[in-house]
């Protein structure tokens, strides 16, 4: 089942913060975050495993709330280079479960 991302789109001025949410109705083993710039391939940002750990990547960090089956991606002091579409992908349980992506959140940073 496809995870739900919110918001669908957001426009920010350079230097502002953004939060992108990803939620699932099923118990999750992991949450993956990718960014895709226009006309380019998606690029890996980070993986979060169940256990509620928070990870960071430059000024981009994420958390995973195992109880709520939700993950949030935090972009602080956004830069023009952060523009793109952000996808969360979720995996359930163990075994050969497929990675299922949400429909994406389009982030536009303006000067």
13/98 with CB nearer another protein: 98
Smallest CA-to-CA distance from 33 within 79, 102, 81 is with 102
| Window of 19-27, 40-48, 64-72, 75-83 that interacts with another protein by CB under 8 A | 40-48
Q: Which two tokens stand for residue 9?
A: 């789109």
57/77 with CB nearer another protein: 57
Does 27 contact another protein by CB under 8 A? no
How many Å apart are CA 72 and CA 33, to the nearest integer?
10
Site for another protein in 69-98 (CB under 8 A): 87, 89, 91, 94, 96-98
Burial call 15-54: b when 16+ CB within 10 Å, e when fewer? eeebebbbbbeeebebbbbbbeeeeeebeebbebebeeee
| Window of 18-26, 56-64, 72-80, 102-110 that interacts with another protein by CB under 8 A | 102-110
Does 103 contact another protein by CB under 8 A? yes
């Amino acid at each position: 089942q496809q995870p739900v991302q919110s918001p669908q789109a957001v426009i920010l001025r350079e230097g502002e913060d953004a939060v992108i949410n990803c939620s699932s109705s099923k118990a999750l083993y992991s949450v993956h975050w990718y960014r895709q710039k226009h006309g380019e391939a998606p690029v890996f940002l980070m993986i979060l495993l169940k256990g509620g750990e928070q990870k960071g990547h430059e000024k981009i960090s994420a958390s995973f709330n195992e109880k709520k089956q939700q993950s949030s991606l935090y972009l602080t002091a956004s830069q023009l280079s952060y523009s793109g579409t952000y996808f969360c992908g979720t995996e359930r349980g163990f075994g050969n479960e497929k990675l299922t992506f949400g429909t994406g959140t389009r982030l536009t940073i303006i000067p």
